[in-house]
Structure 1
Amino acid sequence: MEHVRAFEDQERAATDWAWQHDQPAGLGTGTLPSGRWWWWPLSLEEGPLALLGVRPKDGEPLPGQRRRLLAALGQPLAQALSRARLADDLEAARLHGETEQLRSALLASVSHDLRTPLTTMRGAIDSLLALGDAIPPDDRKELLESTRDEAERLDRYIQNLLDMTRLGHGGLKLARDWVAPEDIVGSAVHRLRALLAPYRVETRVPAELPLLYVHAALIEQALVNVLENAARFSPPGGRLRVEAEQVGEELQFSVSDEGPGIPEAEREKIFDMFYTAARGDRGGPSTGLGLAICQGMVGAHGGRISVGDGLDGHGTRLTLHLPLQRQPDLEELDAGA
């Protein structure tokens, strides 16, 4: 053990000296020649980039011709290392710039998404406080419903931010259970009833669909995000269709709209975090987290999301693909209940 430690200390001293002085060290040199390795700095004008170490099989110092050959071969290697380091530095600078740009976009979008419902809620509450009983009952009810709807909207934004944080740090836990697809669709549509009111919403969910073994709240949230995205890009009075169907070994939820659609070249990008905010599309400012979260939630279940054309060849169709499991026996479900 002492021999190993002495060897390690001797070679470490040789490498340190070669690096600091940009000169060869070790076996066959004037510095620590008793070592077993010959160390040659791979250097350019800015100094050493790496060390080339050679240990002869016979333990004898390398002949001068062999050392000159290795030194010559080390020059293009040093240049290649320098180019690789430069490429890494440029990529790091680019990523830093993109990170700062995305951070700015996120802050601006989150600020807008949180402020908008708060402004509406404050206006309704101020009106109720200032006018009180002077407000007709129907108008008072409308103001209260508006406050409730904006509070629900604010809750969805905050939930998306929390979900994105959990996805990014691997903290999203799946609490799977058996659930009927029609329950997920019904609950998602009900949660967005106020947002979907201006549109003609059609649901197509056959009663005989197999059960899903999923974390129901997460899949429901993913469908809510897709529905909300479709409504945001749909014209007033436009059609929205929500479907669930079995295709092979998958259960597919799809949402189709009559909006402007998504060009082929951009269909993969819509799942990038902050993409909507970065491109400033006509749907209005948004964090762009909704679809990125959908991708994470569905992916955590072993599924995926695809993009296609919407109703009658117009708009967009987003489909959530979820793998089906072996269906449980009724006795198993009763025992679990």
Structure 2
Amino acid sequence: GAQARLLPEQRQLAEAMVDDIAQAALRTRLVAELEQAHVSNETERLRSALLSSVSHDLRSPLAAMIGSADSLASYGAAMDTSDRRALLDTILVEGERLDRYIQNLLDMTRLGHEGLKINRDWIGVDELIGSAARRLQRYQPKVRLELDIPATLAPIWVHPALVEQAVFNVMENAAKFSPPEAAVRVQARELDGQLRIDVIDAGPGIPDDERARIFDMFYSVERGDRGRHGTGLGLTICQGMIGAHGGSVQALPGRDGRGTLIRITLPLLKPASHDEPDPD
């Protein structure tokens, strides 16, 4: 008899449990669908933003290249060496600029999809920053860089090309806003199991309320008299690349209230023993 009396309560309990499970399953599905919608929304936003940027940022270097090549083809024979050289330089510089934009767009669309597969390897911090510095000096021979990278820093386990590109983007951004005579300082330090790379410019700085927004896609801060530059993609990509490594990128006020300090922080990960040998 006792068993029979418990049955309605048991049934009630079982029904409540089934109901809970159904609710939980529904919530899980809703969360998954929302997540999917969010991802496709972001991808859609990314795609339309990329298209609107492409029209201007890819076409202006192309127009310069076509114009220069056309002038060379039509009047090259009548020009002196320095004029021909100048047109060839324009084609080369604008071609490299175009190449950079396309690389940025490709990186950004990859980041906007399934995230990146990080193929990590060991690389020296000096080698990484040195490589980004040399590349920047090729594009902008007048840029002044001060590198402060202690020889005691251990190699890091990262995707070298991605981190190098992120450092390059931040340095290029700093160089853009620095007064011609002022150096861009790049300082690397190891702190609390993390690598911290600070890139410090002596430009006009960024208003407090805009500091977080400089990482929005296609946001170009108008600073000083330089107006707008480029796609404004550089820092967004940088955040995606460093974020894919579990790190962060922040914009802080510069030293002594001047300029801007962009801080890249990377956790110092080590490979699982079966992944890769140590960097000896």
Scaled by the length of structure 2, the TM-score of the pair is 0.73
Match of 1:287 in 2: 231
Are the equivalent residues in 1 in contact too, given 2:186–2:198 (CA < 8 A)?
A: yes
SS at match of 1:192: helix
Are the equivalent residues in 2 in contact too, given 1:241–1:256 (CA < 8 A)?
A: yes
TM-aligned CA distance change 1:120 to 1:235, over 3 Å: farther
Q: Which string of whole-angstrom CA distances, capped at 9 and with x for unpartnered residues, describes residues 215-269 of structure 1?
A: 0000011111112222222333432122222223111222111222112222222
Q: Distance in 1 between matches of 2:87 and 2:272?
A: 47
Match of 2:107 in 1: 163
Q: Which string of whole-angstrom CA distances, capped at 9 and with x for unpartnered residues, describes residues 37-96 of structure 1?
A: xxxxxxxxxxxxxxxxxxxx7xxxxxxxxxxxxxxxxxxxxxxxxxxxxxxxxxxxxxx9
- The offset of 1:178, in angstroms, is 0.2
> Larger C-alpha radius of gyration, 1 or 2?
1
Name which of 63, 66, 78 aligns with 1:119. Answer: 63
Q: For structure 2, list consecutive stretches of 5 or more residues without a partner in the other structure.
A: 1-11, 13-40
Which stretch of the first structure deviates more once superposed, 244-253 or 218-227? 244-253
Are the equivalent residues in 2 in contact too, given 1:109–1:286 (CA < 8 A)?
A: no
Match of 1:325 in 2: 269
Query: How many residues are paired up?
Result: 235
Which stretch of the first structure deviates more once superposed, 309-318 or 292-301? 309-318
1:297 pairs with 2:241 = yes
Name which of 91, 98, 106 aligns with 1:147. Answer: 91
Match of 1:207 in 2: 151
1:216 pairs with 2:137 = no
Q: Which string of whole-angstrom CA distances, capped at 9 and with x for unpartnered residues, describes residues 97-131 of structure 1?
A: xx88x877654433221122112222322232223
RMSD of equivalent CA atoms: 3.0
Are the equivalent residues in 1 in contact too, given 2:123–2:155 (CA < 8 A)?
A: yes
SS at match of 2:101: helix
TM-aligned CA distance change 1:283 to 1:234, over 3 Å: farther
One-letter amino acid matched to 1:271 = F
- The offset of 1:187, in angstroms, is 1.3
SS at match of 1:275: coil
- The offset of 1:311, in angstroms, is 5.1
- The offset of 1:154, in angstroms, is 1.0
Match of 1:263 in 2: 207
Q: For structure 1, list consecutive stretches of 5 or more residues without a partner in the other structure.
A: 1-56, 58-95
Q: Distance in 2 between matches of 1:139 and 1:203?
A: 36
TM-aligned CA distance change 1:177 to 1:135, over 3 Å: same
Are the equivalent residues in 2 in contact too, given 1:178–1:212 (CA < 8 A)?
A: yes
Scaled by the length of structure 1, the TM-score of the pair is 0.62
- The offset of 1:317, in angstroms, is 1.0
Are the equivalent residues in 2 in contact too, given 1:110–1:286 (CA < 8 A)?
A: no
TM-aligned CA distance change 1:237 to 1:140, over 3 Å: farther
Are the equivalent residues in 1 in contact too, given 2:155–2:279 (CA < 8 A)?
A: no
Are the equivalent residues in 2 in contact too, given 1:181–1:211 (CA < 8 A)?
A: yes
SS at match of 2:58: helix
Match of 1:88 in 2: none
> Aligned ranges for residues 231-246 of structure 1 at < 5 Å?
231-246=175-190
1:315 pairs with 2:255 = no
- The offset of 1:273, in angstroms, is 1.8
1:178 pairs with 2:96 = no
Are the equivalent residues in 1 in contact too, given 2:137–2:143 (CA < 8 A)?
A: no
One-letter amino acid matched to 2:189 = E
